[in-house]
Amino acid sequence: MAYHYDCTDKELIEVLAGMGAERTKGWWEDFRDLLPPTFLDIAEMEWFARGLRMTTLAHIPGPFQTESFARALFEAAIPQLPEDEFEARVSHRIQRHRALDRPGGPTYMATIHEAALRIEVGGRTVLHEQLAHLLDLADKRNITIRAIPFSAGAFPGSGQSFLYAYGEVPSLDTVQLDRTSVAEFLHTSTQLRKFSLQLDQMERIALSESRTRDLIQSIMQQL
């Protein structure tokens, strides 16, 4: 295929060949006939990424969600999901953490707006459990969680949640925009630079890891 498309980037060719040579079927393939293809694309992108940077405004990042939190989110879908698809979406959502737990998994930098930490998805008990789970995740070597407080005001990219996935080579970098039903993937250098700069700015105004932990603990005490 590289020959056919006149690709001469040896490093890219080797990385793609390595990805294609994996003999074990990815866990996401179990959902191929149950969920929209973009669900599988996101899981595969996370699995093969070298690093991940996410910003989210209204919800906890997918790989960090507890089962109760994920169920509450999907229960709010309009129109109501069929039972089999509902259960498949919950199971897929929870299994996305496997990319972070596996040996040699990607680093994950999550910048979460305070609103996402306070919205009582599923009620107070579910949110309390979810926030406790976030604190546990923040102790992991490859996961960094920082919060943007309400006091930060407006900032670039404040209207969009998105994920920046770093590939094994820069030409495989991808931005996935968070959409209600269909995920959108961006690849051009201009688009990648735009969202990379937005993440840089968000991380500059975000609280430190220790202050983020203090904020989360404070919210838990109020529930």
pLDDT at 218: 97
- Give the per-residue pLDDT at 149: 96
pLDDT at 66: 98
Residue 114 neighbours by CB distance under 10 Å: 19
For residue 167, give every residue at least 6 positions away whose Cβ sits within 8 Å of its Cβ, in sequence order, or none: 15, 48, 49, 50, 173, 174
Contact residues for 111 (Cβ-Cβ < 8 A; gap 6+): 53, 54, 55, 56, 146, 147, 148, 199, 202, 203, 206
Quote the DSSP letter at residue 146.
Answer: E
pTM for the full predicted model: 0.88
- Structure confidence at residue 1 (pLDDT): 65
Residue position matching structure tokens 């995740």: 137
Per-residue pLDDT, 146: 98
pLDDT for 13 equals 63
The whole-angstrom separation of Cα 199 and Cα 13 is 29
DSSP state of 52: E
Rounded Cα distance, 123 and 135, in Å: 19
Task: In whole angstroms, give the CA distance from residue 90 to residue 1.
Answer: 36
According to DSSP, the β-strands at 162-166 and 51-56 are antiparallel
Instruction: Say if CB 100 and CB 63 are below 8 A apart.
Output: yes
Q: How many CB atoms lie within 10 A of CB 151?
A: 8
Look at the alpha carbons of 43, 88, 179, 74 in this order and tell me if their dihedral is positive or negative.
negative
Largest Cα–Cα distance of the chain, in whole Å? 61
| Per-residue pLDDT tens listing for the chain (223 residues) | 666 666 666 666 666 676 666 656 899 999 999 999 999 999 999 999 999 999 999 999 999 999 999 999 999 988 999 999 999 999 999 999 999 998 888 999 999 999 999 999 999 999 999 999 999 999 999 999 999 999 998 888 777 889 999 988 888 899 999 765 567 899 999 999 999 999 999 999 999 999 999 999 999 999 9
Fold category of 10-222 in CATH: Endonuclease; Chain A (3.30.870)
